[in-house]
Amino acid sequence: MTFRIARIDWRALSNAKDPRMVATTAPYPRTFVPADLKVQTFADVEPLYRELIDRPIDSPAALERWLANFSELSSVVDQVGTRRYIDKSCHTDDAAIQALYMQFVEEIEPRIKPLYFQLQKKFVQSPHREQLTDPRYAMLERQWRPDVELFREENIPLQTELTKLANEYDTISAAMTVNFRGEELTLQQLGRFFEEPDRATREEAYRLMVARRLRDKDAIESVFDRMLPIRDEIAHNAGQQDFRAFMWKAMKRFDYTPDDCARFADAIAETVVPLVNELDRQRKADLKLDKLRPWDTQVDPKNRPPLRPYKQDETDLLVDRAKAVFERMSPELANDLESLRRNKNLDLASRKGKQPGGYQATLEERREPFIFMNAVGLQRDVETLLHEGGHAFHTIAAKDEPLQFLRSAPIEFCEVASMSMEALGAEHMDVFYPDATEAARAKRTYFEKVIALLPWIATIDQYQHWIYTHSGHTRQQRGDEWLRLRTRFGPSREHFDFSGFEDYQRHEWHRQLHLFQIPFYYVEYGIAQLGALQLWMKARENPRQALANYRAALTLGGKRPLPELFSAAGIRFDFSAKTLGPLMRAVGEELDRLPR
Ligand SMILES: [Zn+2]
């Protein structure tokens, strides 16, 4: 299961290497940062940060100007970091480009961080802040206040320690390769054999994967054991009861509580798990098996070859067709996608040297989106482009807000922007597949994935709630808790036989990198999916209105609290059974209508 990042959150540096950036005039002229400043080192920007820190502010108007200057500097620096990240993703085999990126991450960004914090504090504590009556400023204060309140000098080395441990996890995971039929493969590469129609091949690949993962189970448990006390300590240093309370504030979860997440999980157990069981029952029948084994979940139940929405080398055709899908929703969206192509902000085709995955990144100074992905001619690419397209529309819609800090929405809503495009786009798969059976199959694949993901989200989320409210637990206890949650949300024993994999099941959470790298970040995907599905239902009743609401909500960027962004999109910020129930009924009916 891979996830795509919505936005790259680096703050800082330059792009002399990129001819596009030098040749074109900036659409938003600089008024504070010198027009000819090329950010190459920390020293290039340090005086600008210092000037902002030291500048006396004697009126509300001066505070507003100061904030605009800060935003401009931050956008310039952010774009440099983003550009270097994009370059690195496109050329992982170019040492000079890698070095530029690492220089940003190691030498520029960490030195800007404390200065950035001082500026946030200066704004939040300014005596003139209260006199700025535009509600945008109250939103900004709400967003920055937790950063100021949680900041502790003594937590900086602890954070670094955690980053190193996360790297250790990465290194262990990246080194996991297997020899499959004479070929050295990464576990990702091995993954394609799980779709293989020949059952013995799938089993062989699966057993190999499990054996390889189990070899490092103790090493990964040990990384996690070392992380937990550091996370507790960070929370206590910041005056928080536990790491969950700390993260709740740090992630700016103002509009929902741990109890809401528990209720969401209950609603998933009640309304989604039965639907997943029914799909498993159908799969078992289609494959003519008494019980499914863990290697039977990804193969096409009718043994059909993979869908081919376009030929591998024709990424222009992928864009043309995605554009046609958006055109059916709204001509503005189609124009937005075309603007990415025109501005050369697409790098879609897979090729040697590109990093895996896909993302949308925002070039903050130009206020333009960039989409990166690895298209190889599969249905997955169509979904990725629709998804990242949604993030790009968000960036474009919100670009008129002068303050960078208010242009991007909370992540829960960013993913509504992207996931909605996947949901609404699923209705137009005939653009890619003239054959109606294939179009229906593409749509079906999408909805099945949506349903299957929700119980996994509940599992990962509830597991983390347990972990961080049971300080001092043993490995045995956390393994038991994981198995308890898997029994509640996971596949039913009525249809599945997992015998022989008991040890692997106990350690299955090791593969979810979020637990190691971005703790607590996961429920967002579920909250956003509910938003996307609500929008999909609205669009079936009144597509024009649904799309108008969608765009209006995107335009608000981060200027409104989460519940208001949802209501601007014409949907409810609610993740109880009251909202989830009807959505799952509608999805279930849709699946019943679609041929298998
Ligand atoms: Zn996304």
Taking the centre of ligand 1 as the mean of its atom positions, its distance from the CA of residue 443, in whole angstroms, is 19
- Check whether 500 has a pLDDT greater than 50: yes
Min mean pLDDT across 171-185, 391-405, 493-507 is at: 171-185
Taking the centre of ligand 1 as the mean of its atom positions, its distance from the CA of residue 415, in whole angstroms, is: 5
Please state the rounded mean pLDDT for residues 152-164. Answer: 90
The Å distance, Cα 360 to ligand 1 centre, comes to 8
* CA of residue 388 to ligand 1 center, whole Å: 6
pLDDT single digits (tens) 55-110: 999 999 999 999 999 999 999 999 999 999 999 999 988 999 999 999 998 899 98
Residue 4 CA to ligand 1 center (angstroms) comes to 5
The residue among 386, 378, 384 whose CA lies nearest residue 307 is 378
176: helix, coil or strand? coil
CA of 419 to the centre of ligand 1 (A): 7
| Distance from Cα 8 to the centre of ligand 1, integer Å | 11
Could you say which DSSP state residue 363 is in? E
Q: Tell me the per-residue pLDDT of 244-303, one tens digit each, with 9 for 90 and over.
A: 999 999 999 999 999 999 999 999 999 999 999 999 999 999 999 999 999 999 999 988
pLDDT greater at residue 353 or residue 211: 211
| Gap between the Cα atoms of 449 and 2, Å rounded | 12
pLDDT at 135: 96
Question: Rounded distance, CA 13 to CA 435, Å?
Answer: 49
Helices (H), 182-314: 187-190, 199-215, 217-237, 243-250, 258-271, 273-286
The rounded Å distance from CA 532 to ligand 1 centre is: 12
C-alpha 226 – ligand 1 centre gap (Å): 30
Distance 526 CA to ligand 1 centre (A): 12
Give distance in angstroms: CA of 24 to centre of ligand 1. 29
Residue 12 clears pLDDT 70, i.e. is over it: no
Distance 409 CA to ligand 1 centre (A): 12
pLDDT of residue 361: 96
320 residue type, one letter: D
Cα 386 to ligand 1 centroid, rounded to whole Å: 10
Q: What's the CA-to-centroid distance between 359 and ligand 1, angstroms?
A: 7
pLDDT tens digits for range 556-580: 999 999 999 999 999 999 999 999 9
Q: Which residue has the higher pLDDT, 527 or 13?
A: 527
Binning pLDDT at 50, 70 and 90, where does residue 527 land? Answer: very high
Q: What's the CA-to-centroid distance between 478 and ligand 1, angstroms?
A: 30
Q: Using the predicted structure, report yes or no on whether residue 19 has a pLDDT greater than 70.
A: no
- Residue 6 banded pLDDT, cuts 50, 70, 90: very low
User: From CA 43, how far away is CA 252, in angstroms rounded?
Assistant: 32
Average pLDDT, the chain: 93
Flag whether pLDDT at 15 surpasses 50.
no
Question: Who surrounds ion ligand 1 at CB < 5 A?
Answer: 4, 6, 418
Q: Are 202 and 295 in contact, with CB atoms under 8 Å apart?
A: yes
Instruction: State yes or no: pLDDT of 205 exceeds 50.
Output: yes
Going from the Cα of 387 to the center of ligand 1, the distance in angstroms, rounded, reads: 6
The helix or strand, by DSSP H or E, that contains position 369, with its residue range, turns out to be strand 368-375
Distance 194 CA to ligand 1 centre (A): 25
Buried b (16+ CB within 10 A) or exposed e, 118-128: ebbbbbbebeb
Residue 353: predicted pLDDT: 86
Distance 413 CA to ligand 1 centre (A): 10
Which pLDDT does position 25 carry in this prediction? 54
**If you measure from the C-alpha of residue 102 to the centroid of ligand 1, how many angstroms do you get, rounded to a whole number?**
24
- Count helices and strands in the chain by DSSP H and E runs: 26, 5
Ligand 1 centre distance from Cα of residue 577 (Å): 24
Q: How many residues does the chain have?
A: 596
Measured in Å, residue 195 CA sits from the centre of ligand 1 at: 25
- Residue 2's pLDDT is 29
Question: What is the per-residue pLDDT for 534?
Answer: 98
- Percent of the chain at pLDDT above 90? 86
The Å distance, Cα 573 to ligand 1 centre, comes to 18
- Residue 14 confidence (pLDDT): 31
Cα of 389 to ligand 1 centre, how many Å?
9
Ligand 1 center from residue 45 Cα (angstroms): 31
Cα 418 to middle of ligand 1, angstroms: 6
Does residue 13 have a pLDDT over 50? no
For 349, the enclosing helix (H) or strand (E) is strand 346-349
Q: Tell how far the Cα of 333 is from the centroid of ligand 1, in angstroms.
A: 17
Distance 384 CA to ligand 1 centre (A): 9
pLDDT digits (tens, 9 = 90+) for 356-368: 888 999 999 999 9
Amino acid found at 418: S
The alpha carbon of 530 and the centre of ligand 1 are apart by a number of angstroms equal to: 14
**pTM of the full structure:** 0.91
